[in-house]
Amino acid sequence: MSKIFDFRTCPTTGLRVDRTAEKLIKANAVAAVIFLAIGGLFGLLVALTRWPAVHFLPADWFYLALTAHGLDVLLVWIIFFEMAVLYFASAILLNCRLAGARWAWTGFGLMLTGALVTNVAVLRGQSSVMFTSYVPMQAEPAFYLGIILFAVGALIGCFVFFGTLVVARREKTYAGSIPLVTFGALTAAIIAVFTIASGAIILIPTLLWSLGLVAHIDPLVYKTIWWAMGHSSQQINVSAHVAVWYAIAAMVLGAKPLSEKVSRTAFLMYILFLQLASAHHMLVEPGFSPEWKIFNTSYAMYLAVLGSMIHGMTVPGSIEAAQRARGLTKGLFEWLRKAPWGNPAFAGMFMSLVFFGFIGGISGVVMGTEQINMIMHNTLYVPGHFHGTVVAGTTLAFMAITYLLIPLIFRRELAMRKLATWQPYIFGIGVAGISIFMMGAGTLGVARRHWDMTFADALLPFDYPSVAYLMMALNGIFAVMAATGGLMFVLVVVRSVFFGRRLAENEKPSYPEVPPQAAAVAHYGSAESPHIPGTVFLVGIFFVAFVLYYFVNWKYLSEVWPLS
Amino acid sequence: MAITPPTERIWWRQPIAKVELVWIIIAFTWGLIMFFMMIFWHGAGEQNLSSEAYQIKPERFAAHAQKMIDDHQVRIEGGFPVVHPPPGSDVYLIARLWQWWPILELEKDQSYRLHLSSMDWQHGFSLQPVNINLQVHPGYEMVLTIRPDQAGEFGIVCNEFCGIGHHMMVGKIYVAE
């Protein structure tokens, strides 16, 4: 290939930007947002149906909408956006051309085709099997085929990313080691390869089974391997959104990691241990030994949780250190009070950090405890937990960095700034509410994936406590709020990207403010102990909340019928 | 910055700041405590799920359940047989589209060996308001010992999606004083 690579120079960062990489980032981000809008709409319909006083959809449509919601947001939106993150963290941050652009477009085409095929299969109504498609419940072959195509496309994207790292190293486009954000993206890509391989191992036989070519798929084997994909893919999200946190802290505040070694080791722990999480879904299944459950569900003694707890200190710590270096040194929290809360990139990132830790993180560890799982499995506690991780964590972080990608990559001025300023708050608080109230309803025993909590059509009567109805109404209200925030995001993106003012070739965007590369932050190496008392205080609150909530749930467990 | 290569080329030789090191030690220790808490509960706690399970054909499981129903049925309620098996015995609960079959009547503070299996798809055994939740698979028989320590009427909700009638799948367990 004797193609001449086409670069422009970024007026904000001074980096060379490969125009092909830029186009791919745009294409993937736009596809992501489209599926976020579709999947988000299905999510709103689900929440309105579970709001007992509204009970919006009929049963068949509810289960269809729930299947589509899971697929479009948990899989399609997030993976498309992650492709954009991978290309950004490789070609753009490393100052390099994208390796194998034609492959990258092929991957994009496969992902888009796969997403459409699966969506059509679901909308035809014969594949309302939920995102997890547990056998022996069967969907149309197109349902599995679409997911497989999508996964192959994503796998190609991962290898384009790896290839770009190799090219950058060979062409010496950067000095020393790759940036921390790229390292985090590399973590995500490595986990993605494991995830997609697991998916192939189980979904290809399942496709053949739905075509009638394979006679039997064992439901326990299916579940164990499916979750090696299903849960590990959430760890791709964790790695990617932690990388995005570091990126936003760097781009908005010029924050520098407290210690490269600590942050990178924390990412490494994700690669080494997160894949064991399939066990989180097998804690109340027949036949698994306690030894297997305890080792796997704890990621081998909570070593991956340790990784997240480290990031939980180093991300806000690096922000505090940068702010203090700028002179915001009064008291414990001047650095936080005077943070750029009006900048949607920062506001979204910081809320993502807090909600992911306090809501998604703590609940995940508690629910993943071998015995405690019994009082939560398949109740609404489960979606409560993962809306805290994947929506309040990943989605909010991805929305936040989109506000930086619009001026830097799309080269458009951010439109509707007022709306953009409010968006992370409306969406973030809405999602936090969804998570908390679903967890509340789950604690009261309300089943997930369930059309009618009143059991009006059941042969035998049963009633949940009335507080559970209140929880579901509040969940509905906060879902409307979150959907409003989601709509605001889509409006701002569409308005900016398609109708916003085009920035001139060398024009620096005025909003959101991004400090120049050589930020006013003084040099602070990890050798000098950074002064971060505010972060220490916040981490202390987190730790106390974690310990208390953990033991409260043991108390709840001790009150149920003895069983062995 | 996190978006540029590390300023110190040999970054892995940089010492770790004390504040970070302390937090790593605390977090690691907490992980160990949580890890050993699960093991501790196997000795000290009363709620540990059995790992006893067998592969079984649905027809065979249904035959076991039918035998129990034939031997110990006490009445019929809403079309469901109500079974009062003797304390300590093996009790069977069938999960199928869209019923928990039969209704069990147990005695408080007595132990029973509960057998669970599905005739068709996966189902979720969700005992309410106690809030014990177990997954029920077709082709697998899970056996656990339960000892109800409250008297009253309890519902069994299905909390694994099992098709269009999922929300109608409700069963019952009575616990007599």
Spell out a b/e string for A289-313, using b for 16 or more CB atoms within 10 Å of the CB, else e: ebeebbbbbbbbbbbbbbbbbbbbb
Mean of per-residue pLDDT scores for chain A: 93
Nearest to A309 by CA among A348, A351, A358, A350: A358
Lowest mean pLDDT among A33-47, A56-70, A469-483, A500-514: A500-514
pLDDT of residue A1: 41
Beta-carbon contacts of residue A498 (< 8 Å; ≥ 6 apart): none
Q: Is A413 on the interface with B (CB under 8 A)?
A: no
How do residues B79-124 score in pLDDT, each as one tens digit? 999 999 999 999 999 999 999 999 999 999 999 999 999 999 999 9
* Rounded Cα distance, B78 and A455, in Å: 15
Q: Do A251 and B3 touch (CB under 8 A)?
A: yes
- Check if A174 contacts B (Cβ < 8 Å): yes
Percent of chain B residues past pLDDT 70, beyond the cut: 100
Rounded to whole angstroms, how far apart are CA atoms A246 and A315?
A: 6
CB–CB of A284 and B27 under 8 A? Answer: no
- Whether the CB-CB separation of B122 and A221 falls below 8 Å is answered with no
Show residues of chain B in contact with A298, CB under 8 Å.
31, 34-35, 38
Residues paired with residue B107 on neighbouring β-strands, in sequence order: B176
Distance from CA of B67 to the nearest CA of A (A): 23
Cα(A183)–Cα(A195) distance, rounded to whole angstroms?
A: 18
Query: Residue A520 pLDDT > 70, yes or no?
Result: no
> Each residue of A252-307: pLDDT tens digit?
998 989 999 999 999 999 999 877 888 999 999 999 999 999 999 998 889 999 99
Q: What is the dihedral of CA A37, A39, A45, A51, to 10 degrees?
A: -110
CA distance A285 to A279: 10
How near does any CA of chain B get to the CA of A137, in Å? Answer: 6
pLDDT exceeds 90 at position A522: no
CB contact under 8 Å between B46 and A562, yes or no, is: yes
Kindly list the structural domains of chain A, giving each domain's residue range(s) and its CATH number in brackets, ordered by start: 7-503+529-558 (1.20.210.10)
pTM higher than 0.90 for the full model? yes
Nearest-CA distance B84 → chain A (Å): 18
Give the pLDDT score at B156: 97
**Distance in Å, alpha carbon of B98 to nearest chain A alpha carbon:** 9
Q: Complex ipTM, two decimals?
A: 0.96
Please list every residue in chain B whose beta carbon sits closer than 8 Å to the beta carbon of residue A289.
51
Report how far Cα A47 is from the mean position of its chain's Cα atoms. 20
Could you tell me the pLDDT band of residue A15, with boundaries at 50, 70 and 90?
confident
Residue B103 · residue B83 · CB < 8 Å: yes
Token code pair at residue A211: 């075509």
Flag whether pLDDT at A535 surpasses 50: yes
Cβ-defined contact of A288 to B42 (cutoff 8 Å): no
Find chain B residues with C-beta within 8 A of A408's C-beta: none
Which token pair is B143?
Answer: 């056996």
Contact across the interface for B16 and A530, Cβ inside 8 Å: no
CB–CB contact A284 B49 (8 Å): yes
Residue of A nearest to B1 (CA): A256
Q: Highest mean pLDDT range out of A2-6, A512-516, B66-70?
A: B66-70
Helix or strand run (H / E) with residue A482: helix A466-499
List, in sequence order, every residue forming a beta bridge with B104; answer none if it has no partner.
B83, B173
Task: Confirm or reject contact between B87 and chain A (CB < 8 A).
Answer: no
> Which regions of chain B are under pLDDT 50?
none
Q: Alpha carbon of A187 to those of A139, A194, A271, A410: distances in Å?
A: 33, 11, 6, 26
Nearest to A246 among B2, B140, B141 (CB): B2
Kindly state which CATH superfamily the domain B53-176 is placed in: Cupredoxins -  blue copper proteins (2.60.40.420)
Kindly report whether the peptide bond that precedes residue A58 is cis, defined as omega within 30 degrees of 0.
Answer: no
What is the nearest CA distance from B47 to chain A, expressed in angstroms? 5
A337, containing H or E segment: helix A334-337
Cα–Cα distance measured from residue A474 to residue A476, given in angstroms and rounded to the nearest whole number: 5
Nearest chain B residue to A246 by CA distance is B2
Calculate mean pLDDT across residues A96-116. 96
Q: What is the 3-state secondary structure (H, E, C) of A85-143?
A: HHHHHHHHCCCCCCCCHHHHHHHHHHHHHHHHHHHHHHHCCCCCCCCCCCCCCCCCHHH
